[in-house]
């Protein structure tokens, strides 16, 4: 992947010490499109490896 200059500094501040993958984001979106998420309502789901807690 091509990353912007300074990305390594941002990654160092993420508790999981890595960037998320497109698959991780897609799995969350998929979950929200299934009946398993039928009771989820008005939630803000942050997919950021703990960067903003």
Do residues 8 and 30 lie in contact, with contact meaning Cβ atoms separated by under 8 Å? no
User: pLDDT tens for residues 1-53?
Assistant: 568 898 989 899 899 999 999 999 999 999 999 999 999 999 899 999 998 87
Helices (H) and strands (E) in the chain, counts: 2, 0
Residue 38 is predicted with a pLDDT of 96
Residue 18 is predicted with a pLDDT of 92
d(CA 14, CA 17): 5
Residue 47 is predicted with a pLDDT of 92
**Strand, coil or helix: what is 5?**
coil
Domain boundaries, the chain: 7-37
- The structure's pTM equals 0.72
Per DSSP, helices labelled H in the chain are: 7-13, 22-32
Among 21, 19, 16, smallest CA distance to 8 is for 19
Residue 1 is predicted with a pLDDT of 59
């Amino acid at each position: 992947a091509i990353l912007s200059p300074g990305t390594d500094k941002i990654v160092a501040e993420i508790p999981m010490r890595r960037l998320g993958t497109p698959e991780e984001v897609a799995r969350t979106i998929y979950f929200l499109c299934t009946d398993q998420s039928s009771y989820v309502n008005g939630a803000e789901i942050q997919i950021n490896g703990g960067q903003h807690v």
